[in-house]
Amino acid sequence: MNGEAKPAETAKPKTSIGLEENVAGLLCYLVTFITGIVFLLIEKESKFVRFHAMQSTVTFLSLFILIWILTFLGIFIWILWPLIWLVDIVIIILWLVGMIKAYQGEMYKFPIFGDIAESFLK
């Protein structure tokens, strides 16, 4: 040892399942609403993780249902296909933003879906 003091490492908050909150938050989005539901079921303490899990569930389950409806209607009304592609792009953007913001430790709320997720958790 050369006598230099190491700076104190800041401990990142842990979840009830032992993961760091930002990692668990990222994982809530990894497989869209599926991992969102899983984290809603297993995480009981961290408000941060529960928020991201609920936001992931509400956002992606809603958008996937919309895609299924538009796809079914698109069989008969071909003009809907560009709308389906647009929703697919929105899903990819929200998926990436959700993972990045959660990993950065932000309680980032998606427009509309974030408020709905928050209301479900109260």
What are the residue ranges spanned by the domains of the chain?
A: 21-115
Give pLDDT, residue 3. Answer: 55
The pTM assigned to this predicted structure is 0.87
Give pLDDT, residue 12. Answer: 77
Q: At what angle do helices 21-30 and 47-74 cross, to 10 degrees?
A: 10
State which residues of the chain have pLDDT below 50. Answer: 1
Those residues with Cβ within 8 angstroms of residue 98's Cβ, 6 or more apart along the chain or in another chain: 28, 29, 52, 55, 56, 59, 108, 110
Give pLDDT, residue 74. Answer: 84
Give pLDDT, residue 76. Answer: 84
Give pLDDT, residue 96. Answer: 98
What are residue 20's DSSP bridge partners?
Answer: 14
